[in-house]
Amino acid sequence: MTIVTEHLPPLSYEEHGVVTGYSTEIVNAILSNANLQAPIQVLPWARAYQLAQTQANTLIFSMTRTKEREQEFVWIGPVSPRQIHLYKLKNRKDIQIRNPGDMRAYKIGLVREMASSKELIRNYAIEDKHIDYAPTVDSNMKKFLLGRVDLIVSQDWSAAYLMKTLGRHPDELESVLLLDNKHQYYLAMQKDTDPALLQRIRQSFEKVQQSGLMERLRIKYMR
pLDDT at 113: 83
pLDDT tens string 198-214: 999 999 999 999 999 99
DSSP output for 135-186? SSHHHHHHHHHTTS-SEEEEEHHHHHHHHHHTT--GGGEEEEEEEE-S-EEE
Cis upstream peptide for 62 (omega within 30°) = yes
pLDDT at 223: 62
CA angle, 52 as apex, 110 and 203 as ends, to 5°?
115
| CB contact at 8 A, 11 and 21 | yes
pLDDT at 46: 87
pLDDT above 90: residue 87: yes
- Identity (one letter) of the amino acid at 154? S
Q: Please state, for a pLDDT cut of 70, what percent of the chain lies above it.
A: 100
Enter the pTM of the model.
0.78
pLDDT at 219: 87
pLDDT at 221: 83
Q: Is residue 78 classed exposed, middle or buried when 0-12, 13-18 and 19+ CB atoms within 10 A define those classes?
A: middle
pLDDT tens string 113-155: 888 999 999 999 999 999 999 988 999 999 999 999 999 999 9
CA gap 91, 200 in Å, rounded: 50
